[in-house]
Amino acid sequence: MLIPKHLEEISEIIETSENNEVLKIKCKCSHTHFIVYEFCESDNANVKPGFNEIIRENDKLYLVKRNFFGKIVEKIECGNMFEKKQRRIIKVKCEKCGLEYVLFDNYKHGYDAVITQQESCASKNEITFYFKKAYSQPIEVFIKIYQDISYDQFKDEFENIDYSSYLNSFGNIDIYGLNPKLRKIKICSEETA
């Protein structure tokens, strides 16, 4: 099982395969509908509206714009636009009891974050984050985690690494929801390696 440690208590596996897990988020109070919030650091005023996703292709970063069906319709090479990796945090708040959970923080979760933490470069500063609603209504939330290297390969790359660090070092994450009409809503899709 490839469930990151911070999600173990609030998730239920609904699909599994060799390299990925699909999890349904479930509050500690057993409720399954959440308000989804996002913090996305944006200190680049020159980014065009509608370009809201960064992808990596052939070791280059691209800012992309997708159409209604999720197909990439425009792509801009970022170059040195993002020298510092911009912070992205997705959290949910239970509709019933109000408990909040961080589902993804690219400074703490994912392969690149584990490497940064290993190299002791992670920022220790306390920061106030201003979240906006990613979707206006309570929805069911699902996470798909991709991990394409084994624990043995991971241990060979890093010394003194524990299994929980390996679980948090997934290569990709997709967070999506289902609205009341069972329509899929993309919240976050990020390559973390």
The residues near 116 (Cβ < 8 Å, ≥ 6 apart) are: 107, 122
Instruction: Annotate 27-54 with b (16+ C-beta within 10 A) or e (fewer).
Output: beeeebbbbbbbbbeeeeeeeeeebeeb
The residues near 173 (Cβ < 8 Å, ≥ 6 apart) are: 104, 109, 110, 143, 144, 145, 146, 188, 189, 190, 192
Bridge partners, residue 178, by sequence:
140, 184
Q: Which range has the top average pLDDT, 35-44, 110-119, 140-149?
A: 140-149
Whose CA is closest to 177, among 165, 164, 187, 162?
A: 187
pLDDT of 135 strictly over 80: yes
Average pLDDT, the chain: 82
pLDDT of 105 strictly over 60: yes
**24, 174 Cβ separation under 8 angstroms:** no
**186, 178 Cβ separation under 8 angstroms:** no
Out of 28-42, 131-145, 157-171, pick the least confident.
Answer: 157-171
C-alpha span between 3 and 18 (Å, rounded): 13
The residues near 175 (Cβ < 8 Å, ≥ 6 apart) are: 90, 103, 104, 141, 142, 143, 144, 187, 188, 189
State the pLDDT at residue 121: 40
Which amino acid belongs to residue 26?
K
State the pLDDT at residue 163: 82
Q: In which order are the strands placed within the sheet that holds 53-57?
A: 53-57, 60-66, 72-77
pTM of the complete model:
0.73
State the pLDDT at residue 119: 44
Indicate the pLDDT class of residue 117, thresholds 50, 70 and 90: low
Where do we find the tokens 């220790």?
Answer: 124
pLDDT of 120 strictly over 60: no
pLDDT of 102 strictly over 70: yes
Out of 69-83, 110-124, 151-165, 167-181, pick the least confident.
Answer: 110-124
Centre a 10 Å sphere on the Cβ of residue 114 and count the other Cβ atoms it contains.
23
